[in-house]
Amino acid sequence: MRYTTSIRALVLSDLTVINVTTLALAFVVAEMLYKFRSFTLEAAAFLVTWYVLRLAARAIFRSV
pLDDT score for 39: 95
pLDDT in tens, 11-50: 666 678 888 899 999 999 999 999 999 999 999 999 999 9
Q: How many domains, in total, are found in the chain?
A: 1
Displacement of CA 64 from its chain's centroid (Å) = 18
Non-local CB neighbours of 61 within 8 Å, separated by 6+ positions? 14, 18
Tell me which residue range forms the domain holding 13.
2-63
> In Å, what is the CA distance from 39 to each residue of 24, 32, 34, 46?
19, 15, 10, 10
| pLDDT on residue 14 | 67
